[in-house]
């Protein structure tokens, strides 16, 4: 983990509430792996006080990208940054996706909803470079919530989209689309990122089908590097549930490790 108080924004793209920033930072990009995240300061002052966790959308060389959706004041401040501005970031943080075993003749399905697509671009590129087959399922409420379609396609990544309102692709939840497709074929594993209810559906589906799955979880984070204990989730340990830190032990966990609250 490194601290770069001045990662420069060299490119910015905007689609409504969604923004993509390309940054330059040797410190942050050198050890970056898919599934890891940054803690980004949104202001020089102390309000908002805390850094915001944002996934690595891509990384390579001295460049890295973040992709985010405005969710409140902190992300709105980030969205107001311009090319040439600098960002104060800590990272890369957390343990990313475990990719051992995913080489040629293996296939991985990646499932992302809304802003949850963010880490899956870096993941898809990395899997492809290892020779694995990759298929991405990308869902949103409506067509304007799946702005990265072209980016995935132009990177040569097989893409299936869904929208809740049917305005583009499959009409329904992305996990429902996944369920349909799983009747026709099986990958060697899947990877998912999105809101908790989606992660729970994806996780239970994987367990039912006996498919290995890795899920990236979210939580409100005070620090992002393991000291405040704010970001805990129930994770199986010795057949019981223990609170584990999402920022340090995750954010990626195996579907078989995660315990969901009983409804």
Partner 1 sequence: MADLRADLGFLQLRNPVLTASGTFGYGMEFLSFLDLSAIGGIVVKGLYYGPREGNPPPRLVETASGLINAIGLPGVGVEHFAADVLPELRKHDATVIVNVCGDGDEEYFQVIEFLNRYDGIAAYELNISCPNVKLNGACPAMNPHMTRTIVATAKQRSRRPLVVKLSPNVTNIAEIARAAEDGGADGISLINTLLAMAVDLETRRPKLGNVFGGLSGPAIKPVALRMTYQVAQAVRIPIIGMGGICTGRDALEFMLVGARAVQVGTANFVDPAASVRIVHEIAEYCDARGIARVADIVGTLETNR
Ligand X SMILES: Cc1cc2nc3c(=O)[nH]c(=O)nc-3n(C[C@H](O)[C@H](O)[C@H](O)COP(=O)(O)OP(=O)(O)OC[C@H]3O[C@@H](n4cnc5c(N)ncnc54)[C@H](O)[C@@H]3O)c2cc1C
Give Cβ neighbours of residue 46 (< 8 Å, ≥ 6 apart).
Answer: none
> Pairing between strand 170-171 and 86-93?
unpaired
Quote the Cα angle for 43-11-84, to 5°: 50
Site string for partner 1, 31-50 (x = CB under 8 A): ----------x----xxxxx
Our finding on whether 140 is near ligand FES (CB under 6 A) is no
Distance, in Å, from the CA atom of 153 to the CA atom of 158, rounded to the nearest integer, reads: 7
Our finding on whether 49 is near ligand FES (CB under 6 A) is no
Cβ contact 107:48 at 8 Å: no
Our finding on whether 103 is near ligand X (CB under 6 A) is no
CA distances from 155 to 69, 125, 152, 159 (A): 22, 8, 5, 10
Min CB(226)–ligand FES separation in Å: 5
1 binds, among ligand FES, ligand X, partner 1, none (CB under 5 to 8 A by kind): partner 1
Q: Which of 1, 17, 48, 172 binds ligand X (CB under 6 A)?
A: 48
160 binds, among partner 1, ligand X, ligand FES, none (CB under 5 to 8 A by kind): none
> Pairing between strand 18-24 and 2-15?
antiparallel
Our finding on whether 36 is near ligand X (CB under 6 A) is no
Nearer residue to partner 1 within complex by CB, 48 or 212: 48
Nearer residue to ligand FES within complex by CB, 63 or 222: 222
Site string for partner 1, 205-234 (x = CB under 8 A): --------------xx-xx-xxxxxxxxx-
Our finding on whether 54 is near ligand X (CB under 6 A) is yes
- Residue of closest CB approach to ligand X: 72
Nearer residue to ligand X within complex by CB, 31 or 131: 31
Strand segments, DSSP code E, in the chain are 2-15, 18-24, 37-40, 52-55, 58-60, 63-69, 86-93, 107-113, 133-140, 158-163, 170-171, 189-193, 213-216, 232-237, 240-245, 252-254
Our finding on whether 3 is near partner 1 (CB under 8 A) is yes
Cβ contact 97:123 at 8 Å: yes
Nearer residue to ligand FES within complex by CB, 1 or 143: 1
């Amino acid at each position: 983990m490194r601290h770069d108080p001045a990662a420069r924004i060299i490119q910015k793209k905007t689609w409504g509430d969604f923004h993509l920033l390309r940054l330059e930072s040797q410190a942050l990009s050198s050890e970056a792996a898919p599934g890891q995240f940054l803690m980004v300061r949104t202001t020089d002052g102390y309000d908002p006080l805390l850094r915001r966790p944002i996934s690595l959308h891509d990384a390579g060389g001295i460049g890295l990208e973040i992709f985010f959706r405005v969710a409140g004041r902190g992300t709105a401040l980030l969205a107001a940054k311009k090319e040439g501005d600098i960002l104060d970031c800590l990272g890369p943080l957390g343990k990313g996706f475990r990719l051992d075993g995913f080489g040629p003749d293996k296939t991985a399905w990646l499932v992302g909803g809304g802003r949850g697509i963010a880490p899956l671009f870096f993941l898809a590129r990395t899997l492809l470079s290892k020779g694995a087959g990759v298929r991405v399922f990308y869902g949103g409420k409506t067509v304007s919530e799946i702005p990265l379609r072209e980016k995935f396609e132009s990177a040569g990544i097989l893409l299936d989209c869904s929208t809740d309102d049917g305005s583009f692709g499959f009409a329904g939840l992305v996990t429902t689309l996944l369920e349909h497709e799983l009747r026709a074929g099986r990958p060697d594993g899947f990877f998912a990122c999105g809101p908790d209810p989606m992660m729970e559906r994806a996780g239970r589906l994987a367990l039912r089908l006996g498919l290995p799955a890795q899920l990236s979880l979210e939580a409100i984070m005070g620090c992002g590097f393991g000291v405040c204990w704010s970001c805990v989730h129930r994770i199986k340990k010795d057949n019981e549930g223990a609170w584990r830190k999402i920022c340090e032990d995750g954010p990626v966990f195996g579907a078989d490790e995660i315990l969901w609250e009983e409804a």
